[in-house]
Amino acid sequence: MQIGSLIAVYFIVWWLTFVMVLPIGSQSHHETGTQVVAGSDPGAPVKPRLIFKALLATGLAAVFTALVLWGLSNETLHHYWNR
């Protein structure tokens, strides 16, 4: 696989995993019972921890991209798909 294709696949997989990990551990103002500031949404997370979630998405995307590359280069799967 060419480097441009690899970067594109990783970029797409990273965004998918980032969206998947966003709700992990999030608690809203409504759930925690804290006071909501006027003009803010009661469903907004109290501590979003975006850096942790971005790092988690980076690691998971690397694993998932490696699995995709393994699947594309596996001869047994090629034989199965080309029946």
pLDDT at res. 78: 80
Please write the tens of the pLDDT for every residue from 10-61: 999 999 999 999 999 999 887 888 888 888 888 889 999 999 999 999 999 9
Crossing angle between the packed helical segments 3-21 and 50-73, to the nearest 10 degrees:
130
Residue 81's pLDDT band (cuts 50, 70, 90): confident
Asked if the model's pLDDT at residue 62 lies above 90, the reply is: yes
In this structure, is the dihedral angle defined by the CA atoms of residues 59, 52, 13 and 23, taken in order, positive or negative?
Answer: positive
User: How many CA atoms are closer than 13 Å to the CA of 16, on its beta-carbon side?
Assistant: 12
Asked if the model's pLDDT at residue 1 lies above 80, the reply is: no
> Which of 53, 51, 54, 48 has its CA nearest to residue 28?
48
pLDDT at res. 79: 83
Q: With beta carbons less than 8 A apart as the criterion, state whether 46 and 27 touch.
A: yes
